[in-house]
């Protein structure tokens, strides 16, 4: 009975994978034919199954570029960059789309993103896991090998510093990424207060990235990269 269950589970997974590959290939075929709306439908099918990949987000971004929806393209390119930040085609397309957008503020990354920003989250997590294992081994050798105990203690201290420092940077990066959003509307009036009649503080442009600080009754409190804070309707933003 157990073997039958395993076989059923195996074929179910295999069937789901085959369907996903089929949807992705059909999307690529529609894209090659210039039928970008149909391509998007196929890619969205995969997203609805919670199947996420850098190439999927990249292809969706390309479809939006072809449709002239540049803010949506930036949104999906940003999502793709979190998975494959060094992909040459992605970087080139992202830079091209960014050059077409009207921005009034140059993006400035916080210091911790300049340190850890180019490293994928999964890669950093795996690295810290190995550091933790090495730390446990070093501490074990401290008790086993009394002759070279100082050497192992020194190694353990270095590993503790790396572990805590890396964990802090990873936590800061996750919080930063979870707060990022893209402006998907053009010429958004950012207000001093979460009210339609409030005074405009500054204007946000299509495709601009901001940080979400708070959410209140249909309004997002956001921070621009230059530190200015204002409120906009939540319909104007989409989280990355």
pLDDT-derived band at 36 (thresholds 50, 70, 90) equals very high
pLDDT-derived band at 18 (thresholds 50, 70, 90) equals very low
pLDDT-derived band at 61 (thresholds 50, 70, 90) equals very high
Looking at the chain, the whole-number percentage of residues with pLDDT higher than 90 is 54
DSSP characters for 129-166?
Answer: HHHHHHHHHHHHHHHH-STTHHHHHHHHHHHHHHHHHH
Q: Is the pLDDT of residue 118 over 80?
A: no
Domain ranges of the chain: 17-100, 111-178, 179-239
Looking at the chain, the whole-number percentage of residues with pLDDT higher than 70 is 88
CA–CA separation, 209 and 213 (whole Å): 13
pLDDT value at residue 16 = 45
pLDDT value at residue 15 = 41
Joined together, the tokens standing for residue 226 give 């230059």
pTM over 0.75: yes
| pLDDT top residue among 102 and 49 | 49
Q: Is the pLDDT of residue 21 over 70?
A: no
Average pLDDT, integer, range 17-26: 66
Average pLDDT, integer, range 205-224: 92
Q: Which of 2.30.30.40, 3.30.200.20, 2.40.50.320, 2.102.10.10 is the CATH number of 179-239?
A: 2.30.30.40
Number of H helices, E strands in the chain: 8, 7
pLDDT-derived band at 105 (thresholds 50, 70, 90) equals low
CA–CA separation, 182 and 207 (whole Å): 6
Q: Is the pLDDT of residue 92 over 90?
A: yes
Helix (H, G, I), strand (E, B) or coil at 221: strand
Average pLDDT, integer, range 46-63: 90
Burial 88-100 (b: 16+ CB within 10 A, else e): eebeebbeebeee
Average pLDDT, integer, range 93-121: 79
Q: Look at domain 17-100 and name its CATH class.
A: mainly alpha
pLDDT digits (tens, 9 = 90+) for 193-203: 999 899 999 99
């Amino acid at each position: 009975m157990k073997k039958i269950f395993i076989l059923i589970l195996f074929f179910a997974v295999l069937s789901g994978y085959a369907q996903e590959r089929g949807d992705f290939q059909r999307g690529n075929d529609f894209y090659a034919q210039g039928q970008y709306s149909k391509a998007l439908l196929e890619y969205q099918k995969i997203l609805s199954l919670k199947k996420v990949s850098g190439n999927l987000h990249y292809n969706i971004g390309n479809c939006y570029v072809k449709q002239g929806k540049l803010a949506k393209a930036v949104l999906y390119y940003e999502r793709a960059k979190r998975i494959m930040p060094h992909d040459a085609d992605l970087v080139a397309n992202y830079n091209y789309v960014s050059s077409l957008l009207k921005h009034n503020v140059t993006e400035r990354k916080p210091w911790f993103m300049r340190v850890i920003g180019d490293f994928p989250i999964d890669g950093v997590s795996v690295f810290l896991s190995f550091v933790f294992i090495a730390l446990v081994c070093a501490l074990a050798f401290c008790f086993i090998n009394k002759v070279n105990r100082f050497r192992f203690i020194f190694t353990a201290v270095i590993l503790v510093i790396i572990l805590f420092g890396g964990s802090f940077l990873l936590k800061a990066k996750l919080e930063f990424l979870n707060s990022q959003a893209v402006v998907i509307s053009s010429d958004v009036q950012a207000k001093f207060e979460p009210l339609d009649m409030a005074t405009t503080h500054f204007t946000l442009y299509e495709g601009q990235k901001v940080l979400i600080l708070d959410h209140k009754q249909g309004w997002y409190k956001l921070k621009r990269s230059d530190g200015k804070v204002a409120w906009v309707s939540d319909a104007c933003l989409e989280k990355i």
